[in-house]
Amino acid sequence: MPEQSKVAIIGGGPAGLMAAEVLARVTAGKALITVYDRMPSLGRKLLIAGRGGLNLTHAEGRGDDLAAFLSHYDRAGASAPIAAAIAAFPPDALVGWAEGLGQEMFTGSSGRIFPKAMKASPLLRAWLRRLDGMGVRFVARRRWIGWDMAGALLFEDEAGASHSVSADATLLAMGGASWPRLGSDAAWVAPLTQKGIAVVPLVPANSGFDVNWSPVMRERFAGEPVKGVALTFGNRRLRGEFVVTQHGVEGGAIYTLSSAMRDAIAATGEARLYIDLKPDWTEQVLVERLAERTMQKRPGESLTNALRKATGLSPVAIGLMREAAGNNMPATPNGLARLMKGVLIRLVATRPIDRAISSAGGVRLDELDENFMLRKLPGIFAAGEMLDWEAPTGGYLLQATFATGAAAGQGMARWLKTRG
């Protein structure tokens, strides 16, 4: 390896920073590593993720068997290179890395793993200090716009002035398109496609959906959570909760199903989501409870009140029943029970990509070699969310982002060594 290899890492998020750390450790100071970011400070998207507790990974992937964990990665599936990157830097390694930064971790009841501080800022501050101590340089307010005529990296500063940077190896880790105000605006697509790199169109992932709610539903129940339910789309059923919004629905359970529902809307114009409002009760039990309550119903008592007393349903859940039934709310216990076990919500559109938690699509995985280097552009590597993979929230997103960054860091070190 040359004594003074120059490495440019474009993107100061988890993938870029992890690649910088791995490369700095492996090369032991023989690489001059500079991290460039278009924002005034690094790790802004990580800080936003920390608002929800910074769910770094999931306990499902701890131990030797990663099959169930990898099954959550849509599009890429369990195929290389995503699976290889996670196998090389699995949840146990990510937890150990965070603890090495002084962040005590804990596992929640759902299996999600968080720092006990439940925020990202302490981890990010400790990480940047470590990188600074390893000799990694940081340059903020630099937007990458491609290459100049001589093949050097071309950046633009806030004043619009251009800056050329030569590098022996470059990592592109600029995220997808879901957080443009934090720097992830997918401006990298044009420079790469001009170089002949195949990029799968970016689409919303872990997103909410539009529903044509009635004015009553929108005005009365927007912001209300729907808890303790089971959602079914296609042949997949899961327990969870979601939130009714003015536009439609969003929340953890919705995000888990979002990939399939988004694709259904693109293909047919709608996605039919069914909600079981009482998943722990059989339809027969509901019929009996409703029939018993009907016999005890006082004159003038509303159907909403009767349903609430018979089944414990929340007002928003009953609102969903009315929304699905329209003006034909069932009058019999059998009809009500059947409706309660399968409330239909018609999703008519995916929320815009800049409102999504993440994005799917990006650089096609077959454009990468085993080092995460672009086959058509020797010396140019890619990692993180700008690659074509997709995963739900719950720790899967950040795990793959960190892991692909680590894999790219190792790949750059190997490539620089062979050149040396």
Distance CA 291, CA 237 (A): 28
What average pLDDT does the segment 8-14 reach?
Answer: 97
Residue 163: Cβ-neighbour burial (10 angstroms; 0-12, 13-18, 19+)? middle
What average pLDDT does the segment 328-335 reach?
Answer: 90
User: What is the pLDDT confidence band of residue 300, given thresholds at 50, 70 and 90?
Assistant: low
> By the 8 A CB rule, do 365 and 76 touch?
yes
Across 224-357, where does the E strand assignment appear? 225-233, 236-244, 248-250, 271-276, 343-350
Across 37-167, where does the E strand assignment appear? 57-58, 105-107, 112-115, 137-139, 143-147, 153-156, 162-165
Cα angle: 346, vertex 203, 242; to 5 degrees: 40
The token pair that represents 271 in the structure block: 């996605």
Q: Which residues of 133-152 are buried (b: 16+ CB within 10 A; e: fewer)?
A: ebebebeeebbbbebeeeee
Predicted local distance difference test score (pLDDT) of residue 1: 46
What average pLDDT does the segment 387-413 reach?
Answer: 96
Pick from 202-216, 228-242, 292-306, 356-370: least confident: 292-306
What average pLDDT does the segment 143-172 reach?
Answer: 97
- DSSP reduced 3-state for 30: coil
If phi over 0 gives left and psi between -120 and 50 gives alpha, with beta otherwise, what is residue 39?
A: beta
Predicted local distance difference test score (pLDDT) of residue 56: 96
User: What is the pLDDT confidence band of residue 77, given thresholds at 50, 70 and 90?
Assistant: very low
Predicted local distance difference test score (pLDDT) of residue 78: 46
Distance CA 179, CA 46 (A): 11
Report the Cα–Cα distance between both ends of the chain, in Å, rounded.
Answer: 3
Helix (H) or strand (E) holding 261: helix 252-268
Q: Report the candidate in 352, 387, 339 with the shortest Cα–Cα distance to residue 366.
A: 387
User: What is the pLDDT confidence band of residue 79, given thresholds at 50, 70 and 90?
Assistant: low
Whether the per-residue pLDDT at 371 is higher than 50: the answer is yes
Q: How many residues are present in the chain?
A: 420
Helix (H) or strand (E) holding 35: strand 31-36
* Architecture category of domain 5-204+359-419 in CATH: 3-Layer(bba) Sandwich (3.50)
> By the 8 A CB rule, do 332 and 177 touch?
no
Predicted local distance difference test score (pLDDT) of residue 391: 92
Give residue-wise pLDDT tens across range 267-279: 999 999 999 999 9
Map out the domains of the chain as residue ranges.
Answer: 5-204+359-419, 209-350
